[in-house]
Amino acid sequence: MQFKLTVSAALAAVVAMTEPGLAQFGGSAAGQRLANMPVDPYPSTYVPRSWPATAIVGATVHTGTGATIEHATVVMQGGKIVAVGPDVVVPEGTAIIDGTGKYVTPGIIDAHSHLGVGAEPTLASTSDVNEATDPNTAEVWAEHAIWPQDAAFVRSIAGGVTTQHILVGSANLFGGRTVVVKNVWSRTVQGMKFPGAKQGLKMACGENPKRVYGSNKRSPSTRMGNFAGYRAGWIKALEYQYEWDQFRAKQKKGDPDAKPPKIDLELETLSAALRGDILVQMHCYRADEMALVIDMAKEFGYRVTQFHHAVEAYKIRDLLARENICASVWADWWGFKMESFDGIEENAALLNAAGACPVIHSDSNVGIQRLNQEAAKAMAAGRRMGLNISDGDAIRWVTLNPAKSLDLDDRIGSLEPGKNADVVLWDGNPLSVYSRAEKVYIDGALTFDLNDPAMQYRSDFEVGQSDKEIVR
């Protein structure tokens, strides 16, 4: 029974990437291959490392849900959280880590990273962030450009980051597909891919697309052009879906002349986004543009999962709360471009107070190393203006909220029994500038240890050319 279920799940995963999975292409081998293009052709090969059951005992635990438990125990077994609380009995045979005076949080999740696609060292040859050749490149996938040997990965795990959402850039209206990875050393990107995580569709508002194309005398050169481009893209995707629907209807009737439409990688992505199989992740700074995007999503019947770099989210926090759209923001980045000029430090806190879903993201190979500190800054700014923001709220902005923004909150983002054991032991309060991630567990396996160089992975790039003495 168990076996059968697995087989049918596997079959479901490899049915045609086109929506119905029923296309008949006659007796042609090529046709059969087209008909059976898998949904996930580069599947995750990630396997959790086996690690003894471990309990961290006596630490202050921020669960990620907003709660904080003093003198608590967190038990990890078989890659999962099995118990969290003040009165947990540690099962026999469990390795004990003394957490006295220390803090535990879920693994930090960065909802906006470009590691691997914009790799170290920063060279033209390592920059694969933007396929800036057309305003609609929904056909490209970030996972095809991630260099697992980017030296920034190991530095981000030193900051407690266990999961990151790697996006294509914002040059295009439709940038391409994003991917969620686990922060593990791997020879291949497949070995990092988060099993079962949905891809995203990166879209971009505002200045970037209109600058990139407008400067080449192409559309978009204005925000009007941006919206015309989005809408034209969605209409093409609906037409594409309609053609496939027509084909399937004919095929069902046994029409021998039923001819399948051409498979189009760009429209496959957009169709999947319209269906909700791919999450729409939208780069958008300004409040007015976010509000227009929300209406556009209604126009075409899709959902925006998250706005990224939402510097002006505080201005429409009521709308974002009502629409249940997460807003990924920085603690204090502002003013580097016109559309970020109205940035304020209280953005995340105001979103929190309005019942919206603030996420503190990095978009930076430096910032990703200290998302905990960025959350702390945003928390403190909120408190100074009189908002009631708990330590647990701030931790939620870099754990459970980003998990929600990636539709992974059923698996990661909080320390609750049954969830993946992505856990960070901090040597002090993670909301302090002086604290560092001491031990980082991914699926219950120790993946980084601050005090044990043997438990710090290195990128191939650094082998033999950077000083071994370096503590990163």
Partner 1 sequence: MKTFISLAFASIFLATAAATTATAEPVAIINATLHTGGGAGTVERGTLVMDGAKITAVGAGVPIPDGATIIDAGGAEVTPGFMNPYTHLGIVEIEQEGSTDDSDSGEMPYKASLDIAPGLNPASVTIPVTRVKGVTRAASVPDFSKSIFAGQAALLTLGDGEDFAVTPRAAMHVTVSEGAKRLIGAGRGAVMAMLRQAFDDTRYYARNRSDFDNNRARATALDRLDLEALIPVVDGRMLLLVDARRASDIRNIIALATEQKLKVALVNAEEAWMVAGELAAAKIPVIIDPSDNLPNRFEALNATLQNAARLHEAGVAVAFFAGGEQLANNPRNVRQLAGIAVANGLPKDAAYAALTTVPAAIWGIAERYGTLEPGKDADAVIWDGDPLEVTSAPTHVFILGRPISLETRQTKLRDRYRDLSGGGPGIGYR
Q: What is the binding site for partner 1 (CB under 8 A)?
A: 120-122, 151-152, 155, 207, 314-315, 317-318, 332-338, 341-346, 350, 354, 364-366, 369-370, 373, 376-377, 379-380, 384-385, 431-436, 461-462, 465-467, 470-472
CB atoms within 10 A of CB 7: 10
Which DSSP string do the residues of 123-184 spell out, in sequence order? Answer: -GGGB-S--TTSSB-TT-BGGGT--TT-THHHHHHTTTEEEEEE---SSSSEEEEEEEEES-
Which is nearer to partner 1, 374 or 409 (by Cβ)?
374
* Cβ atoms of residues 159 and 368 within 8 Å: yes
CB atoms within 10 A of CB 241: 18
Closest approach, Cβ 373 to partner 1, in A, equals 5
Closest approach, Cβ 75 to partner 1, in A, equals 29
Rounded Cα distance, 381 and 63, in Å:
22
* Cβ atoms of residues 390 and 66 within 8 Å: yes
Closest approach, Cβ 400 to partner 1, in A, equals 21
Which is nearer to partner 1, 12 or 385 (by Cβ)?
385
The torsion angles phi and psi of 450, rounded to 5 degrees, stand at -55, -35
Which is nearer to partner 1, 303 or 383 (by Cβ)?
383
Which is nearer to partner 1, 369 or 401 (by Cβ)?
369
Give the Cα-Cα-Cα angle 9, 200, 121 (nearest 5 degrees).
115
The continuous run of DSSP H or E covering 19 comes out as: none
Closest approach, Cβ 200 to partner 1, in A, equals 24
The torsion angles phi and psi of 60, rounded to 5 degrees, stand at -80, 120
Closest approach, Cβ 74 to partner 1, in A, equals 24
Which is nearer to partner 1, 147 or 244 (by Cβ)?
147
Residue 235 amino acid letter: I
The torsion angles phi and psi of 439, rounded to 5 degrees, stand at -135, 135
Closest approach, Cβ 157 to partner 1, in A, equals 13
Which is nearer to partner 1, 244 or 307 (by Cβ)?
307
Rounded Cα distance, 416 and 437, in Å:
20
Which is nearer to partner 1, 16 or 320 (by Cβ)?
320
Closest approach, Cβ 445 to partner 1, in A, equals 25
Which is nearer to partner 1, 89 or 366 (by Cβ)?
366
The torsion angles phi and psi of 58, rounded to 5 degrees, stand at 90, 10
* Cβ atoms of residues 78 and 441 within 8 Å: no
Residue 101 amino acid letter: G
Closest approach, Cβ 320 to partner 1, in A, equals 11
Closest approach, Cβ 89 to partner 1, in A, equals 35
Rounded Cα distance, 52 and 415, in Å:
18
